[in-house]
Each structure stands twice: as C-alpha cells, then as structure tokens.
Amino acid sequence: MNSTLTFPNWLLRLRNTVILAGVGAAAVWGVLELLRPPVGHVSNALRLPKQKLDDILQTAKRVDADFEKSWEQKQLKPTAKADDLTLVRRLSLALTGSIPSLQEIRALESVKDVDTTQWWLTQLLADRRTSDYLAERLARVYVGIEDGPFLIYRRRRLVDWLSDSLQKNRPYDQIARALIDSKGVWTTSPEVNFITVTNENKKGPDEAKLAARVSRAFLGVQMDCVQCHDGKLGSTWKQSDFHQMAAYFGQTDFALNGLRDDPKKNYKFRYLGKTEEEVVPAMVAWKPELLPQQGSPRAKLANWVTAKENKAFARTIVNRMWALLFNRPLIAPVDDIPLEGPFPEGLEILADDFIAHGSDLQRLIRVIASTRMFQQSSHSADPSHPVTEGAEKCWAAFPLTRLRPEQMAGSVIQASSLSTIDAETHVLFRIKRDIDVGNFVKRYGDSGEDTFDDAGGTIPQRLLLMNGNMISENTKNNPLVNASTRIGMLAPNHAMAVEAAYLSIFTRRPNAEEAAHFAGLLTSAKSGNSRTNAMTDLFWTLMNATEFSWNH
C-alpha cells in the first residue's frame, strides 16, 4: 500500500502563495517598524557598574579642566554640547568606519534614562565591526598596507589576531610585547608577521625596519631619521642610537620551525665615516635602568618598551586613540612626540590613567569620548561669533575633518541599507561590501599608513563620488536591497520618507525648511514609480552633499 500523500496542484500553489505573502508581509512590517518613530522605554541593556562609570567620568572631568584652563588663558569660548545623534555618528565613524544604520538609530531612540555616549559605546565595543576596524587601523601602523613576502607573511592573519585581541580587550602592553617578542610560524602564530613582513630581501628580518617600526608605533619617536647620519637641525639623536635599538633584532632568524632567536648571530653595521662593519651592542637611548637583566634581546626590548615608567609608550597610544576619535591627533605628526615635552593639555592625565588601569584600551576610548572636547559641537550657536581656526586648533570646538576613504565608502553602503550591516548580515553581502569598499579606496586614493594628514579633497575624488558607481549603485531602484526604493514604496507619508532619508544619511532629522522642500518634491510625484524615482534622487543628492563627507 502506498502511503505517500498527494495534494492537488492548486493546493500546493495556494500553500506557496501563503508562504510568500507571509514573508513579504514580514519584510514590509519590518521596514514600517523602522520608519515609525520609536516608543521610548527604560533600557535593559548591560550598563557599566556605577563605580566604574563614575571613575571614567571623573578622569574625563580632569582632562576637561586642563583644557578649560588653557581656554581661559587664551580667552576662547568653547562651543555647546552636540546633540546625541551627532555623538553617535562620531563614535560609529571612529570605531566602525561607517555611520550608524537607521535600525541602530531606532534602537538608540527607543531607550531612555541612559548616558547616551556610554550606552552606545557598550554596543560598539561588543560589536565585531569595531575590533575589525581598529585592528586594520593599527595594522597599518605595525606592518603597513602592502601584502609583503607571501611565503612567510600573512597580513590577514595578523589583522584577525589583532581583532581577536581587541575584542577580548586584551591589555595593550601585552599586545605590544607579543608583537616585538613573537616566535613561531607566521600561519599558526599570527603575531610573528610583525617581524616577517620585513623579509623583503629574503635575507631574514630587517633589523633597521623593525627598529623604525618599534620606535614610531610604540614610542612615538622618529628615530629612523638618524639611520644614515647623526641628527641635524638641533636633533639630539645620533646614528648609534638608532642602530643600537636595531641590534635587539640581531639574533632574530628564520628556521624550519618558524621565527626564533639564534644566540650566535650579531647585528653588524658600518657607521658613516667608517671603513669596516662592526658589531653593534643592543642598547636603548633613554631609561636604560628599565631594561630587565634576564631574557633574550627582544624580550628585554619588549619589556622596556612597555614598562610603566617608560611613559612614551602610554603617550603614543593615547595620541593615536585621540586621533582615531577626532581624526586629528593631539600632537602631529602622530608618531613624533617629544620625550621631555612640552605636552599638550590632557595628554599626561590620559597617559597616567592608561598606565594606572593596566593599559585598558576600551577604558581609554570611553574616557576620551566622555570629555567635553569630544562632546562639544563643531559650530557656534551664535552666527555672529563663528568658530575660528584658532579655537578649533585649541580644541574649543570639535574639529571638522574629511572622512577617510574607507569611512566614505562604508557610510555610502550603510546609508543605502535600512538594517545594520554587521556580523549577522549574510556572508555574501559582507564579502561584496568589502570588495566594494576596497575598490573605492583604491580609486579614491588610499592614504597608506595611518598619517591623519588633512589633505584637501581633489577634483577627481569629488567627481568619483558624483559620477562613480559607488553612490549610483546604492541609490538606484532596487526594492530587495536599496533603502531609497524601499522607503519610496512603503513610507506611509512624505514627511516620514524624508525623515528616514535624513536619518539614514546624515544621522539627523531634517529641519523645517528641508522637510518642507523635499516633501514638496515627493508630493509632485504623481505615481508610485515617480515617488520611488524621487527618493532615488533625494538619496543621491544627500550622499553628494558636503555634510555627508565630513566628520563634524
């Protein structure tokens, strides 16, 4: 007896229709939920313990007081505090390389009775996008942007290792020591890629390049300027200072079991004016008393670099993290900090706090983000007294800076999606996003290693935005992907459509004049298709606006 159940074709078609209708209704409902203003409720999200939050805020106030004293002496009036959505945009750009999504904005606006900055930071610091983005920014400092010698170098593995370390909030001094004193194979011990990337001449690690990387990346000292001769123009560094640091890598060697130290090896160099090479002793140019008595040369160097008493290490990461959050460092260039000062306001307080709290990068980010300097507006509320360049340089206003190429591309892609593009997004979409961002950065102009130079935007760059595929592909009619089409099709009214566009692109609501203007353009559209086309034009216009391409 055949027990297989059979159904009429009409019943199967009815079943499929019901399923598709259900999926479509769910998708429509999801979009409508994002378009409607949220209903506030008390947040149940994990918050920082009160004692920890109070400690962070107290440190931020001490930093504020340092700047406020300087403003008073220079008779500068700081700007008012920025609104919450502006702060959220700044944090998202700095930590994920993208503006927040409409979905994230609705989640933020649905909670109340929270410190917005700290609540948002809690979400971001737990988000893999943050550790991935920060890992890439740091990798540029440690190993540059090139792929390097493939046989013994895997940049992607190093970035993943850094991301894992940042996600776990591994103390930064541990990360630095692991890189400097790494051992093993570049595939299974990713941190050794910090060393192996220098094997460009296939003769083993390049001691000079490693000395330059360590001094710049971890100590904020451009000692490589004396690599070929003693310092000039008042520099106190000598050629021997640089090569004595390079000598700490003199025993580093490659073997069948990967990177290791060979005690039989020595670092040799022929100094300027000498006819013969000579063995160079491993020595440090300042605070030699901090060197451990035991251990391999690299282990000694790693411990000396990260010693609590060697404040150059803490100052360097503070300056870099400040630069990541403001897109401008306290001291420029970001890797050229004087050992003996003078130091700008706030730097010593932040460095001391960083040391006292075990090289905690997440805490450092929270403290800087809680300062008055980060939270104030980039413009004056009084049109008769606009922000001057001098006030901006003294941090009496949040500095206006252009978005980096990857921030620009990431923001275009995110703005075109109503939902958040994160680790939960389908892998194929994330792969496409990475490819699109990479291609855009190459065409726009990769800034290379992390320089924070505020170079002016070029005409070809501007034309690339207006006429390139990045914006046009992410704004054209596509109901399955693009936000402009979905908003045009599903927004209950024109006002809500315009608001959703502004929130998606500018992370703010339109003012009354903007809302009336664009709602009028949508009203003139006579059919559904016309309104969809009008929304495409609106998205294209906003994405090409100066406001979108600047951090403010």
User: For residues 325 and 90, is the Cβ–Cβ distance under 8 A?
Assistant: yes
For β-strands 268-269 and 278-279, DSSP reports them as antiparallel
Rounded CA gap, 50 and 58, in Å? 12
Mean pLDDT for the stretch of residues 464-479: 69
This prediction's pTM = 0.90
Better pLDDT: 192 or 477: 192
SS3 state at 229 = coil
Burial of 84 by CB count in 10 Å (0-12 exposed, 13-18 middle, 19+ buried)? middle
Question: Which residue type sits at 122?
Answer: T
Rounded CA gap, 99 and 109, in Å? 16
Place of tokens 């994920």: 96
Q: Angle 102-109/494-506 helices, nearest 10 degrees?
A: 100
Mean pLDDT for the stretch of residues 313-320: 98
**Residue 532 confidence (pLDDT) above 60:** yes
- Please name which of 119, 139, 122, 130 lies closest in space to residue 92, comparing C-alpha atoms: 130
- For 95-146, the pLDDT digits (tens) are 999 999 999 999 898 888 888 999 999 999 999 999 999 999 999 999 998 8
Place of tokens 């994002």: 34
pLDDT of residue 120: 95
Question: Which residue type sits at 31?
Answer: V
pLDDT of residue 94: 97
- Ranges 291-300, 415-424, 476-485: which has the least confidence: 476-485
Residue 339 in tokens: 């050992």
Mean pLDDT for the stretch of residues 320-326: 97
Q: Which residues pair with 255 in a beta bridge?
A: 258
**Residue 13 confidence (pLDDT) above 60:** no
- Please name which of 542, 530, 494, 474 lies closest in space to residue 35, comparing C-alpha atoms: 494
- CA angle, 104 then 129 then 487, to 5°: 35
Q: Longest C-alpha distance within the chain, in Å?
A: 101
pLDDT of residue 481: 66
Query: Which residues contact residue 543 at a Cβ distance below 8 angstroms, ignoring those fewer than 6 apart?
Result: 412, 415, 465, 471, 474, 475, 505
pLDDT of residue 474: 76
- Ranges 144-158, 186-200, 420-434: which has the least confidence: 420-434
Burial of 9 by CB count in 10 Å (0-12 exposed, 13-18 middle, 19+ buried)? exposed
Dihedral sign, CA of 137, 140, 146, 152? negative
Rounded CA gap, 254 and 166, in Å? 28
- Ranges 75-84, 274-283, 482-491: which has the least confidence: 482-491
Residue 164, CA distances (Å) to 124, 134, 135, 186 in order: 15, 11, 9, 16
Question: Which residue type sits at 217?
Answer: A
SS3 state at 29 = helix
Q: What is the DSSP letter of 42?
A: E
Q: How confident is the model at residue 65 (pLDDT cuts 50, 70, 90)?
A: very high
R_g of the chain computed on alpha carbons: 27
Segments making up each domain of the chain, as ranges: 145-305, 403-552
Rounded CA gap, 547 and 327, in Å? 16
- Please name which of 109, 258, 91, 78 lies closest in space to residue 186, comparing C-alpha atoms: 258
Q: Which residues pair with 252 in a beta bridge?
A: 261
Most confident option among 146-155, 164-173, 383-392: 164-173
pLDDT of residue 381: 86
